[in-house]
Chains A and B, each alone.
Chain A
Amino acid sequence: MTRPRVSRFFLYLILIFFVILFLLPLWSALVTALKTEQDLIYTTPIEPPKDPTLEPLKTTLSIMGRPLLNSLTFTLGATLLSCLFGSIAGYVLTKIRFPGSGIIFALIILGIFIPYQAVLVPLVLTMVRLGLYNTIWGLILTHTAYGIPICTLLFRSFYEDIPDSLVRAAQIDGAGTWTIYRRVILPLSWLPFAVAAVFQFTSIWNDLLIGLVLSRGIEAMPASVALANLKGGFVALWNLQMAGTLWYALPALIIYFVLGKYLIKGYMAGAIKG
């Protein structure tokens, strides 16, 4: 489909208009985070600072440093565990036929769509009873549990494409179910592990609600909650609010720009967010 020159020109004009629209808030956050309080008043929100400063970034890092570290810890832990359990569940549900496996799969998949609100009160009570309220372990356990459904779906859709004959051949050689998983399935799984891990890292890192109800003090506070608290502490100090936003956005942005293609595969595999 070749189009006349003029309409190609308008096509690119519209595309670039949307680029500006999609990047404008981020651009403004970036320049605002580098501004002094004077620049905040004397420059417009889209102008770069006249007198760039790193003070807002330093100040917010001193507040958000520990929460960022907390987030990194429980996000990595829960990502690893949910991928591992999801992989085993996906394997068992595709390669081992047993009565009721269809129902179990359906029930696990339904878990992807559960609104957190419907489990929030029992979740807090459970964590208090287990002594895991306001702990990193509590957040790891919770995010692992709610990550298993989507991981199971991602791994299952991938394992369905591995021919059953491969599994049967190993069975004939006398390999057990667990051995087949370790020797045959796992070595073929680097792609679904990459997809599930990037997807899980992003969604756990981005979560606010779970962190809000399961953390109280700084010991387990996620970065999302620390950032949410900034707007109360720094009213009208937009340079500090934007600096905090940048700190919290940084790991997610790095993941997106380096490993974005896996994230997109995750979104496409029927993924859901929120």
Chain B
Amino acid sequence: MTVSWKAFKDRILTITLFLPALVLVGYFVYFSIGWNIVVSLSDWKGLVPSYRIVGFSQYLKLISDPVFLISLKNNLILMALFVPGSLALGLFLAILLDQKVRFEASFRAIYLLPFTLSFVITGYLWRWMYNPTIGVINTILDKTGLGFLKSGWITDPNIALYCVVLALIWQFAGYTMLIFLAGIRSIPESHIMAAQVDGASGFYLYRRIIIPQIKFSFFTAFVILMVFALKAFDFIYILTSGGPGYATEILPLTMYKESFAMTHFAYGSAIASLLFFLVMMIVVPYLLRTYWRQEK
């Protein structure tokens, strides 16, 4: 009897200790997502909560809202340029560092540095870089005789979004480099040597032998960058706040402004739910694939 009492007490203790994690994730993630969806189906506008369910009318409003359509378009452009850009530069840096470089660890640490910084910091740094009057880029162009390339950068609605993309690639390239470098290093030395004996070298070695073997690194980096591109808020909030006009407005910013600046809570929650479903469409197949791979 004493043994089973002890086992029972042990089980209770274990459950009690595991419970905080379950309750916190259950409430703050899943219950809150459900709550948010309920808000998105209501007509809540203004500071006093309203849970009168009006169905999908908020979602229908999205289709005819020009600001929503612009920020959706910008979000898609951001994904289409930022994701391949970061993958390409990261792969390039990884291949450079794979050439038995001296001080490799130092180069790696410097390339990764921007990624470890808060988006509030990098946002400020790039506000200064792009500042049209006395900022870094225009001043350098002036001093090197390239003054004709000077531009308004993030203040020019035609190119502001591309400036945001470039700065984000600057911040993320070190991260993709890290993932690719780990992928390259995990290929057995014998595979590479066998290919070298067969005469493969340089560009060919990478294209035919190494890159095909780090497919999973690409997949991982791709998913992480796509998810980031969908929910990026902090960086653009600091750098442009969506401006000039709506030139760099993306969905997370629109959601924030609708909910917390204009108190259109139901409408903001509809955008948030849409974002949630878009992210899940990318993440769920990735997780299934990852665990299917592990099971094998």
Residues in A lying within 8 Å of B, measured CB to CB: 1, 3, 11-12, 14-15, 18-19, 21-26, 28-29, 32, 40-41, 44-46, 85-86, 88-89, 92, 96, 104, 106-111, 113-123, 125-126, 141-142, 144-146, 148-149, 152, 176-179, 181, 202, 205-209, 213, 224, 227-228, 231, 238, 241-242, 244-245, 248-249, 252-253, 256, 260, 263-264, 267-268, 270, 272-274
Given A122-B36, A274-B119: A152 and B101 interface contact (C-beta under 8 Å): no
Other than the given A86-B21, A113-B283, A117-B255, 17 more pairs (CB < 8 A) read A11-B99, A25-B125, A25-B136, A29-B124, A45-B139, A110-B283, A114-B33, A115-B227, A115-B252, A120-B256, A121-B272, A122-B39, A142-B28, A149-B29, A206-B118, A231-B124, A256-B113
Given A85-B24, A264-B112: A252 and B178 interface contact (C-beta under 8 Å): no
Given A1-B99, A22-B110, A148-B25: A268 and B32 interface contact (C-beta under 8 Å): no
Flag whether B153 is at the interface (Cβ < 8 A): no
The 3 closest A-B pairs by CB, nearest first: A176-B10, A206-B118, A118-B276
Residue from the list A32, A141, A213 in contact with B260, Cβ < 8 A? A213
Given A121-B36, A238-B134: A25 and B126 interface contact (C-beta under 8 Å): yes
Flag whether B30 is at the interface (Cβ < 8 A): yes
* Distance in Å: Cβ of A229 to nearest Cβ of chain B: 11
- For B156, the chain A residues whose CB sits under 8 A away are none
Establish whether residues B28 and A119, one from each chain, have CB atoms under 8 Å apart when the complex forms.
yes
Establish whether residues A238 and B131, one from each chain, have CB atoms under 8 Å apart when the complex forms.
yes
Closest residue of chain A to B253 (Cβ to Cβ) is A117
- For B13, the chain A residues whose CB sits under 8 A away are 176-178
Closest residue of chain B to A206 (Cβ to Cβ) is B118
* Distance in Å: Cβ of A46 to nearest Cβ of chain B: 6
Q: How far apart sit A93 and B199, CA to CA, in the bound complex (Å)?
A: 49
* Distance in Å: Cβ of A199 to nearest Cβ of chain B: 10
Establish whether residues A11 and B279, one from each chain, have CB atoms under 8 Å apart when the complex forms.
no
* Distance in Å: Cβ of B127 to nearest Cβ of chain A: 7
Flag whether B269 is at the interface (Cβ < 8 A): yes
Closest residue of chain B to A242 (Cβ to Cβ) is B128
Establish whether residues A145 and B233, one from each chain, have CB atoms under 8 Å apart when the complex forms.
no
Interface size class of B (residues with CB under 8 A): 35 or more
Establish whether residues B14 and A19, one from each chain, have CB atoms under 8 Å apart when the complex forms.
no
- For B134, the chain A residues whose CB sits under 8 A away are 40-41, 45, 238
Residue from the list B17, B31, B96 in contact with A88, Cβ < 8 A? B17
* Contacts A/B (CB < 8 Å), 8 sampled: A1-B99, A92-B17, A115-B231, A116-B233, A120-B256, A208-B233, A228-B238, A267-B175
Residue from the list B27, B116, B135, B283 in contact with A45, Cβ < 8 A? B135
Residue from the list A1, A11, A125, A126 in contact with B201, Cβ < 8 A? A1
Residue from the list A11, A41, A252 in contact with B117, Cβ < 8 A? A252
Most chain B beta-carbon contacts within 10 A, residue among A116, A125, A202:
A116
Establish whether residues A121 and B259, one from each chain, have CB atoms under 8 Å apart when the complex forms.
yes
Most chain A beta-carbon contacts within 10 A, residue among B20, B112, B116, B256:
B116
Establish whether residues A114 and B279, one from each chain, have CB atoms under 8 Å apart when the complex forms.
yes
Residue from the list A15, A28, A123 in contact with B32, Cβ < 8 A? A123
Residue from the list A32, A41, A113, A227 in contact with B120, Cβ < 8 A? A227
Residue from the list A118, A231, A273 in contact with B273, Cβ < 8 A? A118
- For A106, the chain B residues whose CB sits under 8 A away are 287, 291
Establish whether residues A122 and B128, one from each chain, have CB atoms under 8 Å apart when the complex forms.
no
Establish whether residues A208 and B24, one from each chain, have CB atoms under 8 Å apart when the complex forms.
no
- For A178, the chain B residues whose CB sits under 8 A away are 10, 13-14, 17
Establish whether residues B14 and A208, one from each chain, have CB atoms under 8 Å apart when the complex forms.
no
Establish whether residues B265 and A121, one from each chain, have CB atoms under 8 Å apart when the complex forms.
yes
Most chain B beta-carbon contacts within 10 A, residue among A46, A117, A119:
A117
* Distance in Å: Cβ of A28 to nearest Cβ of chain B: 5
Establish whether residues B99 and A115, one from each chain, have CB atoms under 8 Å apart when the complex forms.
no
Flag whether B100 is at the interface (Cβ < 8 A): yes
- For A123, the chain B residues whose CB sits under 8 A away are 28, 32
Establish whether residues A241 and B128, one from each chain, have CB atoms under 8 Å apart when the complex forms.
yes
Residue from the list A45, A227, A272 in contact with B136, Cβ < 8 A? A45
- For B252, the chain A residues whose CB sits under 8 A away are 115, 117
Establish whether residues A92 and B125, one from each chain, have CB atoms under 8 Å apart when the complex forms.
no
